[in-house]
Amino acid sequence: MSSFEIILLLLGCLLASSAFAQVLPRVSLPLVQIALGAAVGCLITTDPTQIFRDPELFLVLFIAPLLFEESRHADKAELLRAWAPVASLAIGLVIGTTLVVGATLHLADPAIPLAAAFALGAALGPTDAAAVAALGADVTLTKRQKSLLSGEALFNDASGVVCFEFAVAAAATGSFSLARASATFLADFFGGIAVGLACALVITLLVGRIRALGLETPTEHVLFEVCTPFVTFLAAEALHTSGILAVVAAGLLMRFNPGRLTAESSRHALASESVWELLTFIINGTVFVLLGMKLPSTIAPTLRTAQGTDFVRLCGLMLLVCVLVVGVRLLWVLALERIHRVRHANDGQAHNWQRLLRSALVTTLSGPKGAVTLSIMLTLPYLTAEGTAFPQRSLLIFVASGVIVLTLVLANFLVPLLAPAPDTTQAEAALTRARAEVLRRTIAHIEQGEASHDTSRETAAATRLAARSFRERLDATLEREASPATMIELRLRVIEAQIAFVHEQIDAGSADRNVAERYLEALEGLQSTYELHRGVSGGRGRRRAHAARLVRAMASRADDAEREQLASLHAATERHAIDQLRAWAPELSDEQQLAARIIAGEHRAQLAATANVRSGSSRTEWRARVQAQCREIETEALAFELEQIRELHEAGELSRVGARELREEVYLLQMGLDAR
């Protein structure tokens, strides 16, 4: 099988895993990808890792961009506040895991050289925070746990890679010098940080200069970001320093100096996030699928050559290493938590061992092994310096693969039990209320601008169209709080009132019978549609699109006189619907009143659109001028909306995160408005 076919197979597994993850929401995505990879691995005989035989290529393609992306999202305040425990986990725990796993594994199976066992321990030191993130809404972590896990994941990869490289060098050459290793470690550590900061500074200055000249576009911004980890890694490696630490340092510098939040920067950030989301999904997914595809080829030779007792021994070694990795991490985290509680809590909290153990277990299990560990293990050389086979390479990869799977299973099924997801209803409701309040203020501002000036017919129509777009956003916001059943029942009641009103108009001679009967057919068809969808969906968009489409279709087939009659009847019917909703208000429940406000907004939007039906095809230029004025009004209204978001945030009614989310929504709308 060619390399191109393997790549296509990997991409196919990634697509399938995304679909299966929706069907199996309780199973984390990495486990789904491993399972798919294992199924495919049973059907092919080619080693899928053959296209990554160069260890440095694997590090550059997989680890460098993953670490850069993680560092770009680091919480700088929490990282600085928790630097001591983070350093302890990222450096001390990795070294401790390397020594304990290596020494114990060598004692349990002397056939595994000590240096090779240390290499396995070093590769199992780094954690994979992305694997836990795949658990999504099923897990909740405290602020301290999040800061520890994210900070640890940034730096323990570098310390794990450095320890791994020392162990591999010792296993391949048969010699090891502690003094030389210590000096090399310090040079790699601080040299990598220096190179990373220098590269990030140069790239930042270059981007700033391009931006000052007005030449930067979202595409160029994303390309600079995507190329940064690769250029930084290769530059650091060329200078014989740690490329991993250089990438982390570069990402952190860019994170600590993000620049001012503007519409332009938000446009760049949106493009960047979309690209990085795809890249990290592909990289993480590829590694986990490769792990699954590698499992059959790793296990099958063992099953063919080993006796039953030998296979049990190999599985025992895998379980032993897993227990060691989890046990050492648990003891280390317990010690950190105990120290933290003694320093920052009262004696009662510090000695509450049940809560302490639970918190430590969550932090321990939330750091499974994953993409980084497998990436490191796959860089094991096939030959030593003397040209002989690297000792126990297949066995070490087999044990590492098993530990990855076991720790992922523990994280997937135990962490949600120990730390169940919080109820986010209140936070979401608060954000919805804030969004609705901002939109109400903006709509009032638009309408106030129309009322305070002597406006022409064109300006009045443009103002109504602009207000309609904001009412649609408000309706979409409020509809989240009204159940679909309530929305449909109230809409059916309104349609019945509209049908009765049209019959009254016919009986009174106020409407042409032929036009009115065709309009009644449209209303009855809409009524039948809602009857079919009763209890299924709110159908807000269907109602508006359906009604507007029917009226336009009827108008297009009519002459000027019939078109005017249709527009008048449609406007009168929409006004009657609004009046009926207002009259029903005292007898409606709170949820029904909310639904009534949403539906009334839809009918007001229909009423505003009636002018377009009246105008006919002969007024194309008039409509174009109205739409141009509407864009100007919307542009000013979006700027006003940003100001209202700022005021709510300063008043304490909107959190910093919520304000940022609402501002980015407005920036996205401004981008769409510019493109129209």
- For 329-347, the three-class secondary structure string (H helix, E strand, C coil) is HHHHHHHHHHHHHHHHCCH
pLDDT score at 117: 92
Task: Answer left, alpha or beta for residue 542, where phi above 0 means left and psi between -120 and 50 means alpha.
Answer: alpha
pLDDT score at 349: 53
CB 192 within 8 A of CB 249: yes
Smallest CA-to-CA distance from 647 within 366, 437, 395, 453 is with: 437
Smallest CA-to-CA distance from 361 within 341, 339, 340, 332 is with: 332
CB 668 within 8 A of CB 270: yes
pLDDT score at 536: 45
Q: Which two tokens stand for residue 291?
A: 């792990």
CB atoms within 10 A of CB 589: 9
Task: Compute the CA torsion angle 563, 569, 574, 578 (nearest 10 deg).
Answer: 150
Task: Compute the CA torsion angle 30, 36, 41, 42 (nearest 10 deg).
Answer: 130
CB 106 within 8 A of CB 114: yes
Kindly list the distances between the CA atom of residue 673 and the CA atoms of 214, 358, 544, 608, 638, in Å, as whole numbers in the listed order.
21, 51, 22, 20, 10
pLDDT score at 542: 42
Q: What is the mean pLDDT of each run of 10 residues along the chain (676 residues)?
A: 78 85 73 86 74 66 81 73 87 92 92 90 82 56 80 80 83 72 78 91 86 76 87 90 85 72 62 80 83 74 57 86 94 89 62 80 87 78 79 86 89 83 65 85 80 65 80 72 77 89 88 84 79 53 46 55 78 88 86 80 69 50 76 85 82 75 76 59
pLDDT score at 545: 41
Alpha-carbon gap, residue 162 to 159, rounded angstroms: 5
Residue position matching structure tokens 């929504």: 665
Classify burial at 545, counting beta carbons within 10 Å of its beta carbon; exposed 0-12, middle 13-18, buried 19 or more. Answer: exposed
Alpha-carbon gap, residue 257 to 72, rounded angstroms: 10
DSSP string of 179-242, one letter each residue = HHHHHHHHHHHHHHHHHHHHHHHHHHHHHHHHHHTT---HHHHHHHHHHHHHHHHHHHHHTTS-
Alpha-carbon gap, residue 591 to 548, rounded angstroms: 27
pLDDT score at 291: 78
The CATH code of domain 3-417 reads 1.20.1530.20
Smallest CA-to-CA distance from 338 within 311, 363, 365 is with: 363
Domain ranges of the chain: 3-417, 425-675
Kindly list the distances between the CA atom of residue 307 and the CA atoms of 110, 304, 310, 314, in Å, as whole numbers in the listed order.
19, 8, 5, 11
Q: Which two tokens stand for residue 522?
A: 């449209």
